[in-house]
Structure 1
Amino acid sequence: MHPKDPASTTRVTWAYVGGCVLAWLLHILANLDTQRGTWSAWEAIYQATWALWPAALLGALLFPWVRWLDARALSLPALVAAHTGAALLFGAAWQLLDFAGLWLAFGPEHAGANLRKALLSREIVGLVVYAGIAIGFTAVLQARRARAGLIAAAQAEADLARAELAAITGKLNPHFLFNTLNSVIVLTRKDPQRAEQALHQFSDMLRYVLATQREAKDRVSLQDELDFVRNYLALESLRLGPRLQVDWSLDPDTLQDEVPPLTLQPLVENAIVHGVAPRKQGGRVGIVSERDAAEGVLHLCVQDDGAGCDPSKLDAAEGRSGIGLSALRRRFALDFGGRARMSISTAPDAGFRVDLWIPQPA
């Protein structure tokens, strides 16, 4: 928050007015004699008002003064000297206003007598009051600066997260688009009619990707994501034939849940490329969606019955899909602030499994 933000200055002004009213009420209570009744109350109000009005008026002028000093970033000796001089002037101005008020109300003789009687004590009180008000305003400015720094840091972190998320999504898209296009090119040489059908499916996939990018969608329904995955699987089935088997286990209640676009497809592609395609007999890919009753989140699972890998080499396993798994993990960390989870389970000759837990809006 900028120190000269009008809304913030208005809040400081009202806080100062409230502090003055509180000091005025406390002064009244300190001088109130309950045994004297109503007369004592009016006398206490009169004394509190007469004693505090110069300090309240002068104190209002200290905020721009303290703000000006704060903006100069003075050295400590210079700051102490500036405040000392201002405190002495504050006390002198208080005396002058008090003297002028008494002169107008009671005449010069009473004003002069009161000035001589309270000159030293009023100057000391002025120094103390100045110190209290200046310290309070300085604390307000420092709190503003700290809050502004936190807001700026949070904004910078959010901007960085959005930039990283955009970069990750940009990396994911070419990864599967080029692979899918290559599959269609291979198919055109074998079966032009089926290739035409595949091109329509590929067109639907491309339309989905472009729509999510053009509209800057952070979330899509699970149904839309599954339709996209089905088109991809249809293309891969044309290439792999009966070697590719897909098991679906979808909870209908989860189909309208929200997921980041292009969440499932990289996992399905990973399962096919590394768990099904390398094996002569092919393999199975399982896709599961269900509600996690314990945590109240959407649980997705993609697994294959391929060769798997050593669990102690999971870092290398994440790299087996290029950037797919590592990018998805990073994407979840940025997009959900640590609330989404991703788990990888694998073992030699026991397949490869990825579980996702995605929070849903309340």
Structure 2
Amino acid sequence: RQKAGIYIAAWLALMMIYAAALYTNNAPIDDAVRASIANLLPDALLGLIVLRLPSFVRWSDDHRRFFAAHLGFLIAFVVAALAGWIVMIGVDSMLFMHRLAFHIPWKIIPFWAIYDILIYGSLAGIAYALQNAQELREQADRAAKAEALRARASLEAMRSQLNPHFILNTFHALVGLVRREPAIAESALERLGDLLRYSLRIQRDGIDEVPLREERAFVESYLDLERLRLGDRLNVSIETPEPTLECLVPTFALQILVENAVRHAIALRASGGFLRIRAGEADGRLRVMVLDEGNGDSTGERSEGSRIGLRLLQERLAALYGGNAKLTLRSIEGGTCADLELPARRVPEDEA
């Protein structure tokens, strides 16, 4: 509404200036006002369409297509504006001279064509500038929200790994291993250290995305520690083709989905279950799936920590990718599938 008011005020001001210019050249005031309306109203009405063009022809599109589209729109705008101008002259003559006359002043048509081109260019430039400013504001808002959510996700992941039950179960298993199998106990302690170092690095450096390779290594360390508690009840299959490992994913995204499956499907069964992690890339999209075959229900009742983790992941996807990413949880035969889909992006070579 505010933009509409500014637009109307700008055209009214231009009409007043135009009428004043005619009046100072000895035109009667009523003729000057009518002439300003007849000459400028078509451009003002057509300008409303020009201001909407960025919604249909985006600057980020192919540049040849962009300029070709605007060349077509420009020609249509000039023709329509000139036709509207001639119609307005006819309407004016009918209303005030009581005769219908569509007089075409051919000599000044080139001048008005140039004027219409300038009007089109000015309005299109303003429209794209406003669109760019709006997108920059939205990007800044999403970046700020993503930063806040990343910090929360990092803290939630650290709390998850420092969960008293998780720590106690891990150390309880380690106590028995120290005497029986010290090499395995040492490896488990290294895995625990890997988890904490990764979490602290993400928190310290403010990292929002990491290559899937790093997230996979983090999850493997987490699963190795869970095996101390679950033993042979936890069976894991990870299928991440090499090209997908360089794709960027939100930090802790995979860990949240894996933890949800382990805690609320596999760990609940005496016989355990099978956890499958798969990744694939097609048509510029990365798809990561976590499937549990524990016959539990990782889509149903969850602990408060899991609910927070999944909700934070949903919010972070919205903050980082807008509507270009999604997370769905669905029941499948014998278990549950968490399906994460997002743009397949990689670290630029100059930053790698």
TM tier, shorter chain?
Answer: 0.5 to 0.7
* Structure 2 residues without counterparts, runs of 5 or longer: 1-5, 48-118, 179-183, 347-352
Task: Pick one of 226, 243, 251 that aligns with 1:236.
Answer: 226
Cα 1:87/1:301, change in 2 over 3 Å = closer
| Residue number among 314, 320, 332 corresponding to 2:317 in the alignment | 332
Q: Between Structure 1 and Structure 2, whose CA radius of gyration is higher?
A: 1
The 1:88–1:322 alpha-carbon spacing in structure 2 relative to 1, beyond 3 Å, is closer
Kept in 2: contact 1:289–1:298 (CA 8 A):
yes
1:356 to 332, 340, 346: 340
**Cα deviation, residue 266, structure 1:** 0.6
1:64 aligned partner: none
Deviations 1:152-210 (A, max 9, x none): 54444334333433343333333332232232344335535466644432332233233
Cα contact 2:261–2:292 (8 A) shared by 1:
yes
- For residue 128 of structure 1, what is the aligned residue in structure 2? 35
Aligned pair count? 259
By how many angstroms is 1:299 displaced? 2.5
Task: Classify the secondary structure of the residue corresponding to 1:255.
Answer: helix
Residue 254 of structure 1, aligned match among 221, 244, 255? 244
Match of 1:188 in 2: 171
> Shift of the alpha carbon at 1:274?
0.9
* Aligned-residue offset at 1:278: 1.9
Equivalents in 1 of 2:328, 2:20: separation in Å?
69
Superposition pairs of residues 86-97 of structure 1, within 5 angstroms: 89-91=20-22, 93=24, 95=25
Q: Distance in 2 between matches of 1:89 and 1:355?
A: 66
2:87 paired residue number: none
- 1:280 pairs, out of 260, 270, 285, with 270
Residue 303, structure 1, aligned to residue 291, structure 2:
yes
Asked if the contact 1:298–1:357 (Cα under 8 Å) also holds between the matched residues in 2, the reply is yes
| Structure 1 residue matching 2:260: 3-state secondary structure | helix
CA separation of 1:278 and 1:88: change in aligned 2, threshold 3 A: closer
Q: Which amino acid aligns with 2:141?
A: L
CA deviations on 1:129-174 (whole Å, 9 max, x unpaired) are 6985799799779878766665554444334333433343333333
Paired position in structure 1 for 2:78: none
Structure-2 change in CA distance of 1:209 and 1:131 (3 Å): farther
For 1:3-31, what per-residue CA distance to the aligned partner results, in whole angstroms no more than 9, with x for missing partners? Answer: xxxxxxxxxxxxxxxxxxxxxxxxxxxxx
- Whether the 8 Å contact between 1:345 and 1:354 is mirrored in structure 2 is yes
- Counterpart of 1:43 in structure 2 is none
8 Å contact from structure 1 (residues 276, 283) kept in 2: yes
SS in 2 for 1:191: helix
Which runs of structure 2 are paired with 1:1-362 in the superposition (5 Å)?
A: 89-91=20-22, 93=24, 95=25, 120=27, 128=35, 132=39, 150-151=131-132, 153-181=134-162, 182=164, 183-192=166-175, 193=178, 197-292=187-282, 295-309=283-297, 321-346=306-331, 350-361=334-345
What SS class does the counterpart of residue 289 from structure 2 fall into? Answer: strand
SS at match of 1:279: coil
The gaps in structure 1 that reach 5 residues or longer are 1-69, 96-118
Name the residue aligned to 1:8: none
Say whether the 8 Å CA contact 1:258–1:360 is kept in structure 2: yes
- Matched to 1:184, the amino acid is I
* SS of residue matched to 1:342: strand
Tell me the distance in 1 between the aligned counterparts of 2:289 and 2:303. Answer: 16
Partner AA of 1:227 in structure 2: A
The amino acid that maps onto 1:305 is E
Amino acid at match of 1:360: A
SS at structure 1 position matched to 2:271: coil
Distance 1:199 1:146 in 2: 59
Q: What is the alpha-carbon distance in structure 2 between the residues aligned to residue 204 and residue 255 of structure 1?
A: 19
Residue aligned with 1:201, SS: helix
CA contact 1:303–1:351 (8 Å) conserved in 2: yes
**Residues 56-88 of structure 1, C-alpha deviation per residue, up to 9 Å, x if partnerless?**
xxxxxxxxxxxxxx79x79x9xx78x965x556
Q: TM-score, normalised by structure 1?
A: 0.56
**Percent of residue pairs bearing the same amino acid type:** 30
State how far apart, in whole Å, the 1-side matches of 2:31 and 2:241 are: 78
Partners of 1:346 and 1:212 in 2: CA distance = 32
Are the counterparts in 2 of residues 220 and 261 from structure 1 also a CA contact under 8 Å? yes
Deviation of residue 263 (structure 1)?
A: 1.5
